[in-house]
Amino acid sequence: MSLLQVEDVTVEFGGLRALDGVSMGVDAGRVTALIGPNGAGKTTLLNVVSGVLRPGRGRVRFRGRDVTGWPQHRVAGLGVARTFQNLQLFGQMTVREHLLVGRYRLTRTSFLEAVLRLPRHFREEKEGREASDALLSRLGLADVADWPASALPYGRQRLVEVGRALASEPSLLLLDEPTAGLSGAEAEEVGRLLRRLAAEGLAVLLVEHHMDLVMSYSDWVVVLDHGVVIAQGPPEQVQSDPQVIEAYLGEEAA
């Protein structure tokens, strides 16, 4: 059984059907890419999975549990993390502080324990800093750990956002166009990171327009067009599907 199962999900906005009976799965240890033209419903599907939207019909199951319509914080608490199409960084917070915020779901220290500075508060603070520093090194951000994230070049800001999501130690990572605005070399760096994460057992659901990255680094590709799944399968199979070429890939080649 897939870690994430989307079953017959339909979403309408004022009579406009953004998703129409979408069914798909995301497995642990794989990068699943979700592609399609602008307006195909890709971000809408991520919003349904992460609890931002409740579908009009259908179900979302995570680890076999029906989480349809759960609020975002409860979904996140199960181990689902995401990034957004537009950067969502916090003012003048440093890079390290962004990762520490990302670890919030893992903390168990109560308000009273923090105020009284009891042992668990210090233990979790130490663990959080060590884990954050290890992740900073892995992402190549250790040299700017104490910089305000907003002062970094755009590509590294994108990495900070991915790092904040990874800091929560999720089992499912939702990425909404993580390479938007990045150079080819920076996009390749993200692709290699996703392959390493998948090899460690993480499930990745990637919304992406960078087709070279999708075809090179994903294990499974799902294609949406006007809210409908028109194809899904291994990258090489989807790449040669006539319906996909007409709806999306051919559009890019034109």
Q: What pLDDT is recorded for position 114?
A: 63
d(CA 14, CA 3): 32
Report yes or no: 61 and 7 within 8 Å, Cβ to Cβ. yes
pTM of the model: 0.89
Residue 41, exposed/middle/buried by CB under 10 A (0-12, 13-18, 19+)?
Answer: buried
41 pLDDT exceeds 90?
A: yes
Q: What pLDDT is recorded for position 124?
A: 66
Q: What pLDDT is recorded for position 253?
A: 40
Q: What pLDDT is recorded for position 202?
A: 97
Residue 153, exposed/middle/buried by CB under 10 A (0-12, 13-18, 19+)?
Answer: exposed
pLDDT exceeding 70 applies to what percent of the chain?
89
| Residue 225, CA distances (Å) to 18, 27, 131 in order | 10, 22, 40
d(CA 217, CA 110): 41
The percent of the chain in helix, strand and coil, each rounded to the nearest 5, is 45, 25, 30
Query: Tens digit of pLDDT for each residue in 71-110?
Result: 999 999 999 999 988 888 887 899 999 999 888 776 766 6
Report yes or no: 161 and 83 within 8 Å, Cβ to Cβ. yes
Query: Tens digit of pLDDT for each residue in 119-164?
Result: 665 576 767 688 889 999 999 999 999 999 999 999 899 999 999 9
- Cβ count within 10 A of residue 56: 13
12 pLDDT exceeds 60?
A: yes
> Helices (H) and strands (E) in the chain — how many of each?
11, 10
Q: What pLDDT is recorded for position 110?
A: 66
Q: What pLDDT is recorded for position 38?
A: 87
Q: What pLDDT is recorded for position 224?
A: 94
Domains of the chain plus CATH, in order, are 11-79+170-254 (3.40.50.300), 90-159 (no CATH)
